[in-house]
């Protein structure tokens, strides 16, 4: 019986537990349904969230750095150029996270190559451990950058930037100006044309891998603009010659400062503009503001006798005097309104040309009083005094030209020999360029022009030529500027020596000037030289400024291949000059 029961148990089949199967199947179905639902939700209803999270990890915006545009002279010589350098910066958080202070010898080496105290470098990094950026040094050379890279200091990185370099150094310092540490123009042409010289970097969205490599380039976020180059009217050969000569004059005469301007009479382009004292724009240590000022257009002086030719031109144009008129200057002085105007000596009767050659204040007083003061002031303004020159450089002074109704006769007299008004060296050069340009006044330009600008006819070509021919005698034997004579190139110029005004009157310091145009038979250049406060006994314009004018004018005319006067032309010109005497 027991054997039969055991056999019955062995033959019994296993029974399925249906509810367990149903639970497992239900759970699996629920799982798949959840996964399908979640996938559908992510891909159909809210797909952007996942994309956004992915983009946050891989998308970056990169920019292409652009360097500042070149500044060249009219012949393509470099005056300002950007050179690639590096900025050294630290990420303090990375330094701390990667135990960057484990080897302090590396920090000592870093401080040494940057020429900075080690404690100063460390204080910048240790000031805030959670900070993500701090500069350690700007504008280091590529060689220094390579050395820093080899140190492999954690959290120390290099960033590309550029630094402005000026090949001509102090020769064009005040004119070109400088940029700051961020390559933004802050002085001179660099400042005035900053927007033109500065490009805009292009920005593009890219996808990067974990190691920082670009794996896909996407949309362009911002189209960049390439920087523009700037071609100046300056001729570097003439600029170098001009600076050398006024620096020499400044040193010999121990003058406080000096300026020179060279203008093309046919276009108004400035071919040279130099000042002393100057500075080295490539070395920013101990910059002094008085050295950085472009005195040729910022500083105004009483012009002295350099203004006299334009009083003569105004009177001839107005018809109040005749070109053959004789002026009585005896006994070498004249009383005007209770005050006395004097000449250096008694010149007796003088022709119009001799009034200019001998720089007679008495003769000029009679010419000035022959015309209404408002008419004379009108001609001064038409010739550019009291107005901007059109050069469009920051800091330009208009000088001082009083506009009032009442003038005493003595004040009218002083207007004729360069007092009671102030002018800049640029304005003086521009007025003499007007004489050489047949009476046409052109706007001054520091940029090279593609075509001749439109000028204003201030005086007739005949009057302009007549005044120039009268001025030839100033640099000949018997004139006040024999040292400004140039063999082969007849010069129409005038000296000026003006006392400097102080509180309550005039002091013992002088301004020595010489301005002129050459060659008279075929005018090409106008030059003004102003020497401020020369020391010693030699302070007259003919002695101080005249020699510098002669050397610069002679050298510049030869550089421009201007032919000397021919024998035939010389005879014709001399006959004209004799008729003016």
pLDDT at res. 63? 59
Instruction: Please report which confidence band the pLDDT of residue 212 belongs to, taking 50, 70 and 90 as the band edges.
Output: low
User: What is the tally of structural domains in the chain?
Assistant: 2
Are 240 and 315 in a shared domain? yes
| Residue that wins the pLDDT comparison between 575 and 440 | 440
Report yes or no on 5 lying in a domain.
no
- pTM comes to 0.85
For residue range 484-533, what is the model confidence (pLDDT) as tens digits?
999 999 999 999 999 998 888 888 899 999 999 999 999 999 999 999 99
pLDDT at res. 22? 79
pLDDT at res. 58? 63
Q: Which of 305, 389, 445, 554 is catalytic?
A: 305
Are 121 and 141 in a shared domain? yes
Report yes or no on 204 lying in a domain.
no
Distance CA 574, CA 479 (A): 15
Are 240 and 227 in a shared domain? no
Report yes or no on 351 lying in a domain.
yes
Are 185 and 88 in a shared domain? yes
Are 117 and 133 in a shared domain? yes
Report yes or no on 203 lying in a domain.
no
Are 241 and 222 in a shared domain? no
**Domain enclosing residue 426, as ranges:** 236-580
Q: Please, are residues 542 and 484 in contact by the beta-carbon 8 Å criterion?
A: yes
Distance CA 45, CA 40 (A): 7
Are 477 and 341 in a shared domain? yes
Residue 222 three-state SS = strand
pLDDT at res. 234? 98
pLDDT at res. 512? 96
Helix axes 409-416, 308-318, angle to 10 degrees: 110
Instruction: Please report which confidence band the pLDDT of residue 221 belongs to, taking 50, 70 and 90 as the band edges.
Output: low
Quote the DSSP letter at residue 556. Answer: H
Are 129 and 193 in a shared domain? yes
Q: What's 496's domain CATH number?
A: 3.40.710.10
Quote the DSSP letter at residue 45. Answer: I
User: Is pLDDT above 60 for 11?
Assistant: no
Q: What's 153's domain CATH number?
A: 3.90.1310.10
Beta bridge partners of residue 421, listed in sequence order = 401
Are 156 and 293 in a shared domain? no
User: Is pLDDT above 60 for 393?
Assistant: yes
Report yes or no on 370 lying in a domain.
yes
Are 151 and 296 in a shared domain? no
Is 257 catalytic? The answer is: no
Are 155 and 255 in a shared domain? no
Distance CA 156, CA 136 (A): 9
For residue range 155-192, what is the model confidence (pLDDT) as tens digits?
999 998 999 999 999 999 999 999 999 999 999 999 99
Residue 145 three-state SS = helix
Residue 390 three-state SS = coil
Return the closest-CA partner of residue 492 out of 265, 290, 269: 265
Are 355 and 463 in a shared domain? yes
Q: Please, are residues 434 and 468 in contact by the beta-carbon 8 Å criterion?
A: no
| Cβ-Cβ contacts under 8 Å for 376 (sequence gap 6 or more) | 311, 314, 368, 412, 415, 416
For residue range 53-85, what is the model confidence (pLDDT) as tens digits?
666 656 666 656 678 999 999 999 999 999 999
pLDDT at res. 438? 96
Report yes or no on 125 lying in a domain.
yes
Residue 177's alpha-carbon distances to 173, 187, 279, in angstroms, are 6, 4, 10
Which of 173, 206, 231 marks a domain boundary? 231
Report yes or no on 113 lying in a domain.
yes
Distance CA 554, CA 225 (A): 44
Report yes or no on 286 lying in a domain.
yes
Return the closest-CA partner of residue 76 out of 195, 235, 272: 235
For residue range 73-132, what is the model confidence (pLDDT) as tens digits?
999 999 999 999 999 999 999 999 999 898 999 999 999 999 999 999 999 999 888 898
Quick check: bond before 331 cis, omega within 30?
yes
């Amino acid at each position: 019986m027991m054997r039969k029961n055991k056999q019955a148990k062995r033959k019994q089949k296993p029974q399925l537990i249906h509810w367990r199967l149903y639970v497992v199947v239900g759970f699996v179905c629920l799982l798949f349904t959840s996964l399908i639902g979640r996938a559908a939700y992510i891909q159909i209803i809210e797909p952007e969230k996942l994309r956004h999270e992915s983009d946050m990890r891989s998308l970056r915006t990169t920019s292409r750095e652009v360097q500042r545009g070149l500044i060249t002279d009219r012949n393509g010589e470099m005056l300002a150029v950007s050179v690639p350098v590096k900025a050294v910066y630290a990420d303090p958080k990375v330094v701390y996270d990667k135990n960057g202070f484990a080897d302090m010898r590396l920090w000592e080496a870093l401080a040494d190559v940057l020429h900075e105290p080690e404690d100063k470098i460390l204080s910048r990094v240790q000031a805030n451990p959670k900070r993500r950026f701090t500069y350690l040094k700007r504008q280091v050379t590529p060689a220094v950058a390579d050395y820093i890279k080899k140190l492999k200091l954690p959290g120390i990185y290099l960033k590309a930037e550029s630094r402005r370099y000026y090949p001509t150094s102090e020769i064009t310092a005040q004119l070109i100006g400088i940029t700051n540490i961020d390559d933004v123009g802050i002085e001179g042409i660099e400042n005035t044309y900053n927007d033109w010289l500065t490009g805009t970097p292009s920005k593009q969205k890219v996808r990067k891998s974990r190691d920082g490599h670009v794996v896909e380039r996407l949309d362009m976020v911002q189209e960049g603009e390439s920087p523009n180059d700037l071609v100046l009217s300056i001729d570097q050969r003439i600029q170098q010659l001009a600076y050398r000569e006024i620096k020499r004059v400044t040193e010999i005469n121990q003058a406080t400062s000096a300026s020179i301007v060279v203008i093309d009479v046919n276009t108004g382009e400035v071919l040279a503009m130099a000042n002393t004292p100057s500075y080295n724009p490539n070395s920013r240590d101990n910059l002094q503001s008085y050295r950085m000022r472009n005195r040729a257009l910022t500083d105004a002086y009483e012009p002295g006798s350099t203004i006299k030719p334009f009083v003569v031109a105004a009177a001839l144009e107005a018809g109040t005097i005749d070109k053959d008129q004789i002026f009585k200057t005896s006994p070498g002085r004249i009383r005007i309104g209770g005050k006395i105007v004097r000449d250096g000596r008694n010149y007796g009767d003088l022709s119009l040309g001799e009034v200019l050659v001998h720089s007679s204040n008495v003769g000029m007083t009679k010419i000035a009083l022959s015309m209404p003061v408002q008419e004379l002031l009108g001609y001064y303004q038409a010739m550019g005094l009291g107005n901007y020159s059109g050069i469009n450089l920051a800091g330009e002074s208009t000088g001082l030209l009083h506009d009032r109704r009442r003038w005493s006769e003595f004040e009218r007299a002083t207007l004729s020999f360069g007092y009671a008004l102030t002018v800049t060296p640029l304005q003086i050069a521009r007025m003499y360029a007007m004489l050489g340009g047949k009476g046409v006044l052109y706007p001054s330009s520091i940029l090279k022009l593609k075509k001749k600008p439109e000028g204003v006819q201030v005086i007739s070509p005949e009057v302009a030529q007549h005044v120039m021919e009268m001025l030839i005698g100033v640099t000949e034997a018997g004139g006040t500027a024999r040292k400004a004579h140039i063999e082969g190139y007849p010069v129409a110029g005038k000296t000026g020596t003006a006392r400097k005004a102080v509180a309550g009157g005039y002091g013992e310091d002088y301004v020595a000037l010489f301005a002129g145009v050459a060659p008279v038979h075929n005018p090409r250049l106008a030059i003004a030289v102003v020497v401020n406060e020369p020391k010693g006994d030699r302070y007259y314009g003919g002695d101080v400024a005249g020699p510098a004018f002669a050397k610069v004018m002679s050298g510049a005319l030869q550089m421009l291949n201007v032919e000397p006067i021919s024998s035939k032309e010389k005879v014709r010109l001399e006959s004209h000059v004799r008729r003016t005497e």
